[in-house]
Amino acid sequence: MLFHARSLALFFASILISAATLRAADHLDAPALDGDGQVDVNDLYAFQSPSNPDNAVLIMTVNPFAGAISPTDFGTDVDYELQVDSNGDAMADITYRTRFSPSANGQDLFVWRDSETLGTGTVGTDIALAGGGMIRAGVFDDPFFFDLAGFRNGFAFTGEDSFAGANVSAIILEIPRSELGSSNVGVWARTTRSGIQQDRMGRPAINTALIPAARKNDFNVGEPKDDAANFGAEVMAAIEGLSNTQNAADLTPVLLPDILTFDTSSSSGFLNGRRLTDDVIDAELQLLSAGAVVGDGVDANDQAFSNAFPYLAPQNVPEPSGGLVVMGLAALTFYGHRRRPSATSSWV
């Protein structure tokens, strides 16, 4: 089936309906995450350090529109995990786990590599890790960039970033890449509460764009090793509806399991890991449409990234602007209406 305007409209309608606020790659991608920004994995990045090619950088963000519709702090009952598959079986061989607690200075963090304590310190400061590397957590500018307003206005792209001025909470981990067990790894982020998985993410927008609404919660609590068996048919059908059967057959085994594959010896970006500057929306539009859609006209973040740790742009102050709050709350209201079904209907 040829990719056409109606397919594009349905594709982005699914993005808007399945999102709780101004959409990013994975912000509030399922109804169970509504109002629970501290466990909502927004985005995941994995790239070779631009300042030290012997190091790998892993970043996860939570709290969409921190300070507006989400908190700015981390959950004290939440484990934030960066999981690494070093042998290609879609199962975690290494887990970097971060926890947070209240302190006189705001929050303290504690980070482990499996059962080994790597470091402790205060949120908002650079914390050196045992064995080398660094971690920092805090509020930063949301590194995601996307013209959502253009999509909602009949795909009349303006080139304006709908996420300009937005903040998120982020965990930035830099470690020697030799610690990852292989130069070719798979990475995903997840959050757990009381040992129960709340959300997960590998590549951007897999759950958002390709998983049916009724199964989004199931996807977020699933394991990557089971993705092909549990969600392969749905992903295949979604891509086929957006392009053609051959493109769907080629892409489905690439996008599932939902793991961000990363050659740590290479400085290239998406689909090799994901750098902060990578325009993943344009890349995925082109892939899913078999080249029929070029992009949204937003080619870079509203704030420049740094080539030095912690790489993200500083938080927007005041956080966020009044216009962003209005837009975010309007989108949240829209989502809230969608996610309060009648007794006989299902969430869509």
DSSP string, 256-304: -S--EEEETT----TTSSB-TT--HHHHHHHHHTTTS----S--S-SSP
* CA gap 272, 262 in Å, rounded: 5
SS (H, E, C) 120-178: EEECCCCEECCCCCEEEEEEEECCCCCCHHHHHCCCCCCCCCCCCCCEEEEEEEEEEHH
* Confidence tier at 18 by pLDDT (50, 70, 90): very low
Task: Give, as one character, the DSSP assignment of residue 190.
Answer: E
Can you give the pTM of this predicted structure?
Answer: 0.87
pLDDT digits (tens, 9 = 90+) for 218-255: 999 999 999 999 999 999 999 999 899 999 999 999 99
More confident residue, 297 or 335: 297
pLDDT higher at 58 or 330: 58
Range with the lowest mean pLDDT among 134-148, 165-179, 312-326?
Answer: 312-326
**Tokens in use for 34?**
């509504």
Tell me which of 119 and 35 has the higher pLDDT: 119
Residue 251: C-alpha distances to residues 245, 278, 286 (Å): 10, 19, 12
> Does residue 145 form part of some domain?
yes
* Residues 98-123, mean pLDDT to the nearest whole number: 96
CA dist 326 → 22, 102, 155, 336 (Å)? 11, 30, 21, 15
Question: 109, 258, 120: which is closest to 170 by C-alpha?
Answer: 109
Whether the CB-CB separation of 81 and 74 falls below 8 Å is answered with no
pLDDT bin (cut points 50, 70, 90) of residue 21 is very low
Most trustworthy range by pLDDT among 149-158, 260-269, 281-290, 293-302: 260-269
Mean of pLDDT values over 314-342? 50
Q: Please name which of 248, 275, 272, 278 lies closest in space to residue 260, comparing C-alpha atoms.
A: 272
The predicted structure's pLDDT at residue 27: 60
**Does the CA dihedral 304-320-105-175 come out positive or negative?**
negative
Identify the CA nearest to 26 among candidates 172, 160, 146: 146
Residue 348 has pLDDT above 80, yes or no: no
In this prediction, residue 34 has a pLDDT band, given cuts at 50, 70 and 90, of low
**Residue 318: C-alpha distances to residues 73, 115, 116, 305 (Å):** 16, 39, 38, 19
pLDDT at residue 154, as a whole number: 62
345 within a domain of the structure (yes/no): no
Q: Read off the pLDDT band of 138 (50, 70, 90).
A: very high
- Amino acid 212 reads P
Q: Is the pLDDT of residue 325 over 70?
A: no
Identify the pLDDT of residue 33.
60
Domain membership of residue 97 (yes or no) is yes
Q: Give the residue numbers spanning the domain of 154.
A: 5-335
pLDDT, position 292? 87
How far is the C-alpha of 35 from the C-alpha of 131, rounded, in Å?
38
Which residues have a Cβ under 8 Å from the Cβ of 332 and sit 6 or more positions away? 20, 21, 69
Q: What percent of the chain has pLDDT over 90?
A: 71
Among 57, 50, 14, 345, which Cα is nearest to 209's? Answer: 14
Report, as an integer, the average pLDDT of 177-194.
97
343 assigned to some structural domain: no
Domain membership flag for residue 346: no
Nearest to 236 by CA among 224, 246, 249, 225: 249
The first and second tokens of residue 152, run together, are 């909602």
Q: How many domains does the chain have?
A: 1
Look at 295 and 215; give whichever has higher pLDDT: 215
